Copies of this chain bind each other. A is one copy, B any other.
């Protein structure tokens, strides 16, 4: 079974000697760990300080950026979650008075939801704390590290989008 060493380009080599991709796996694991650590810390602080869940905070954050409101489908796309999920989240936020519904001016299928004044006020308070928490959690990185990370993750993000949807 011994073979003479042969020069091969990268693609051929990958077919002949299937790489174990160990490095990429470790990177993915670390990326996942970082995200999970931050996310669960934020989740528990939101609950402790404001009695709010992270998905609800995220939904309100999207609406804050659209003062005129947004359709459920638009919310679903921006939050990168399923339609049915958004329906349920909106229902609960309507009950608590943070959101209000309007008919879509042009499209009778669509519903537009927007923050109520109370919801907007509530979100403003939470967003301030949230930004400080994120900064605190990222404080281990020097400013140069932050921009390095932005750049590298930007490249990763656009490549993943290509692979996934392209």
Contacts and interface: CB of A to CB of B under 8 A. Distances in A.
Contact of A134 (B28, B35, B164): B28
Chain A residues touching B, range = 35 or more
B32 A39 contact: yes
A140 B24 CA distance: 11
A68 to B, nearest CB: 22
Given A24-B134, A140-B158, A35 B37 contact: no
A156 B162 CA distance: 27
Contacts of A139: 159, 163
B25 A157 contact: no
23 contacts: A18-B128, A20-B131, A23-B143, A23-B147, A23-B150, A24-B134, A25-B135, A27-B138, A27-B149, A30-B157, A31-B34, A31-B35, A33-B80, A33-B157, A37-B161, A41-B160, A137-B163, A139-B159, A140-B158, A141-B152, A145-B155, A148-B148, A149-B156
Given A27-B149, A41-B164, A140-B155, 12 more contacts: A21-B132, A23-B150, A30-B150, A31-B38, A31-B149, A32-B39, A37-B161, A137-B164, A138-B159, A140-B158, A140-B160, A148-B152
